[in-house]
Structure 1
């Protein structure tokens, strides 16, 4: 009996020690996303659902609560930073995740560095997060402008697209996208013959799109996202531009195709980090997600689940939710789940994993709702993402 009581006491002491390093007696995760604007379908409430699923599936492995909060950054850097500061300083949030919109995520990443907390970007696309603006506190999980530039750009040049015209969103993401894609396609032998920038939330793209025929472009590259991509693609079709040039959707998400419809989107080339119908594991998880959200997951939403799970597993392994030790553990552990196999988090914060070159099916090829992609090829992670030898990240040893 004494031996049993001693064992219980020892186990209790060990548990107390393991949980002593959990700040505030809980682990708190904040989903900072776009709930009402151009990125609300590809991220938004779906990202909140994905994070909640990750927490529920993780269970009570920490012995302390895992709490979730969420907020709408309204695609404004000052609003996003204000929310993040409140979360870090007052509410004890340990991790902020998702953050679609490049200007917002770049500002929040700097704040995470200042406060020594963790940021994992899933919805954001700017490759600058792990390049010139890299941070020891930031991890870029799902995709970036470089990874879609490499795959989509090369594929379209091979298909004869040698005169490119860019319709570019006038903020960090759009400009980085145009820069990365331009470098890839010109290296492959194509020419950039024109570009125009448009503000976020533009409703009428006609004056921008109609400049493409004047320079004899045979590729119109949409360096924008969310509803801006949807609207510009629909209007390109309405003006007959899809008969004169191929459309390159550089940041196309599953929900965009669902909104546009296969009739308008068919034949589009795109690069994605996740497709719900690719494997048995991705199908199983995606069907669970659909039951809760009413739509199949985008790569950003699936990436939120994967990132939150990896983060919580790291805390469970080391018994500490301090930013430095958790990030070190995350970087030391490969990512293996339905989202990625043998994913690796590099010193610059880039989570390197396979990407997939896909083409949107024709209506006759689709078997039903959400059956939208043909996966044409797998792009290995070390080819899809910017090599460290080309990195401007000061954390990377030269």
Structure 2
């Protein structure tokens, strides 16, 4: 698996320690600094905590295996907070802390801001949680890569399950969408899919990111009586919606086009329902997933969720690439990734970054909530589809097409 070439700014106010590596001055060459940025507060904060734990575990494992070209990884952690803060911290990571790479992010607008910085500075950025197709299309950057799935990949993956369940074709849907860049992009992609499959809108609402009381929207759902409720929500919005949906006793089928398993766990016993896409989950039956889940559980006393997977794999990919190159130079790593290097991403098939937009090509999954009488514990609350695409399909069949997200890298 990969090895890091990143470095960045450490310890923000509130403390962000990491990896047992001594604090060293910029001029010392016996460490490779990796800068990690992700939301630690706000509606995406619960996911950010998993991201931090995933990257911490990866860095420890990389160091235990000899580091990068014999140098220890020094991991620097910061709360990205918002796009303005993310941009400023990314610049500081590169210019002051001399990181070899930046890993992280969940907010699509913040990922765009970081992408602009790394393109200007010719530094490497692996996006681990921002889904917007635009980041792989109109806003693509040559020094930005994506281990997180694009919105198109999420919609196409779960779309197969929803069509098989008879919940889309010719049905009326009511869509609730997070009111920021990610949600707007996901709604656009979702509506393309819904329209192509003859679904019609019974209603649509944009949901402020910090909203906690969904009662006005639940009353609108009750009145509209859709065939299916489509959720294009993010972060704690999903947890709050699921809790309140159950309290209102509504029975319309629920489906999501964006998802993180931590949000289902946060909804509490009996509140998770519906069919959702996920980039990875802790029940994937591969040796590397089992090893990751066991190591994460020993360290953090809970299973990893998909955001932890993304940040863990990103650092491993960077470490592997730098070790293969015996170099941490960003441009050389970019060229290496563009040539189709393969990586174990804890699934049945290896992943690789597509050269034209830097999106990783990989399998995804559709999961469905288990009936209450089949739930054994607070973590194993869903059943999963087989990997999507199937074993005889090209990995690119669920990825954004050139028409859906056309990328021209800036000079």
TM-score between the two structures when normalised by the length of structure 2: 0.85
Q: Is the 8 A contact 1:98 1:304 kept in 2?
A: yes
Q: Is the 8 A contact 1:227 1:256 kept in 2?
A: yes
Q: Report the CA distance between 1:311 and its aligned residue.
A: 0.8
Match of 2:127 among 121, 124, 128: 121
Distance in 2 (alpha carbons) for counterparts of 1:376 and 1:45? 27
- 1:41 is paired with a residue whose SS is helix
Q: Is the 8 A contact 1:310 1:330 kept in 2?
A: no
Match of 1:97 among 89, 103, 113: 103
- Per-residue CA deviations over 1:321-342 (Å, capped at 9, x if unaligned) read 1211112212331112425622
Greater shift, 331-340 or 137-146, is seen at 331-340
Q: Which residue of 2 aligns with 1:143?
A: 149
Greater shift, 103-112 or 374-383, is seen at 374-383
1:304-343 correspondence to structure 2 within 5 Å:
304-332=311-339, 333-339=341-347, 341-343=349-351
- Per-residue CA deviations over 1:295-320 (Å, capped at 9, x if unaligned) read 21111211211111111111111122
Dislocated runs of 4+, deviation >4 Å: none
Q: Is the 8 A contact 2:50 2:304 kept in 1?
A: yes
Q: Is the 8 A contact 2:256 2:277 kept in 1?
A: no
Q: Report the CA distance between 1:114 and its aligned residue.
A: 0.9
Q: Report the CA distance between 1:23 and its aligned residue.
A: 8.8
Match of 2:242 among 222, 233, 243: 233
Greater shift, 51-60 or 300-309, is seen at 51-60
Q: Which residue of 1 aligns with 2:46?
A: 41
Q: Is the 8 A contact 1:154 1:188 kept in 2?
A: no
Distance in 2 (alpha carbons) for counterparts of 1:23 and 1:254? 41
Indicate yes or no: 2:256 matched with 1:256: no
Stretches of structure 1 that go unaligned for 5 or more consecutive residues are: 1-21
Q: Report the CA distance between 1:362 and its aligned residue.
A: 2.0
- Per-residue CA deviations over 1:28-73 (Å, capped at 9, x if unaligned) read 111111212222222x232222222222222324122311011112
Distance in 1 (alpha carbons) for counterparts of 2:348 and 2:54? 16
1:42-81 correspondence to structure 2 within 5 Å:
42=47, 44-58=48-62, 59-60=65-66, 61-74=68-81, 76-81=82-87
When the two chains are superposed, the root-mean-square deviation of aligned CA atoms in Å is 2.1
Distance in 1 (alpha carbons) for counterparts of 2:288 and 2:377? 20
Stretches of structure 2 that go unaligned for 5 or more consecutive residues are: 1-25, 390-394
Q: Which residue of 2 aligns with 1:27?
A: 32
- Per-residue CA deviations over 1:152-203 (Å, capped at 9, x if unaligned) read 2343244333111111111100001111111112112211232111211111
Distance in 2 (alpha carbons) for counterparts of 1:31 and 1:328? 22
Indicate yes or no: 2:368 matched with 1:362: no
Match of 2:212 among 203, 208, 223: 203
Q: Is the 8 A contact 1:221 1:250 kept in 2?
A: yes
Distance in 1 (alpha carbons) for counterparts of 2:125 and 2:104? 8
Q: Is the 8 A contact 1:229 1:249 kept in 2?
A: no
Q: Is the 8 A contact 1:286 1:296 kept in 2?
A: yes
Match of 1:153 among 159, 166, 185: 159
Q: Which residue of 2 aligns with 1:18?
A: none
